[in-house]
Amino acid sequence: MKMNAKFISSYDDYKKCPEMSTPEYAFIGRSNVGKSSLINAITGVKNLAMTSSKPGKTQLINLFNIEDKWILADLPGYGFAKASQSSRIKWGMMVHDYLKNRSNLTNVFLLVDSRHAPLKSDMEQITWLASNGIPFSLILTKIDKLSNSQSLKNIAIWEAELSKDWEELPKIIITSSESGKGKDELLEYITAINKQISN
């Protein structure tokens, strides 16, 4: 189903983002983890978020209005983008400033590639979000690239790794932009949070 999703604008500083009271959900993750593909899949709007086979395509804070009910923020990826170190540091500071200071930010969806065991950079992001008291959920992407047994094994590895530091695990949603798996669960989760806020 195609949603009423509109691109608002891109910003290089959270202070330039328009002030809003609408709940905002940020998508972050390593470069090439599939953020843009998932955004296009859940909204049903092809090319809403620009996808690229080259890591590091997203370099700004990109805001989208979804159904006039919530805002989706697509943030620059971290990791192996082919960019200068100074650019990567600048993006990292911009993202962290946004995550710490954006007043209507409701939840962060941290996307990780389900094909890999927990990577150091992913675990560092999780630790940073937790230590700054920022609510987040984990989205495992590209699950269609794994066999059923391998996907169960990798999910168990993630849960075991998180259990080392967490008594109660953050919400984990398994997704595939190709098959649409997890799309409904993700949208229902956002709807449930929005209802909670409005109550």
Per-10-residue mean pLDDT for the chain, 199 residues long? 90 94 95 89 88 55 95 83 64 88 97 93 92 96 94 94 91 95 96 94
What letter would DSSP give residue 102? -
pLDDT score of 52: 45
CA trace torsion 18, 22, 23, 25 (10° rounding):
-40
Q: Is 19 helix (H, G, I), strand (E, B) or coil?
A: coil
pLDDT score of 14: 93
The one-letter amino acid at 24? E
The one-letter amino acid at 97? D
Element (H, E) at 193: helix 183-198
pLDDT score of 84: 64
pLDDT score of 87: 65
pLDDT score of 189: 97
Structurally, at CATH architecture level, domain 18-198 sits in 3-Layer(aba) Sandwich (3.40)
Name beta bridge partners: 107. Answer: 25
**Residue 123, CA atoms < 13 Å, CB-side half-sphere:** 15
Closest CA to 32 of 103, 115, 90, 105: 115
**d(Cα 9, Cα 95) in Å, to the nearest integer?**
16
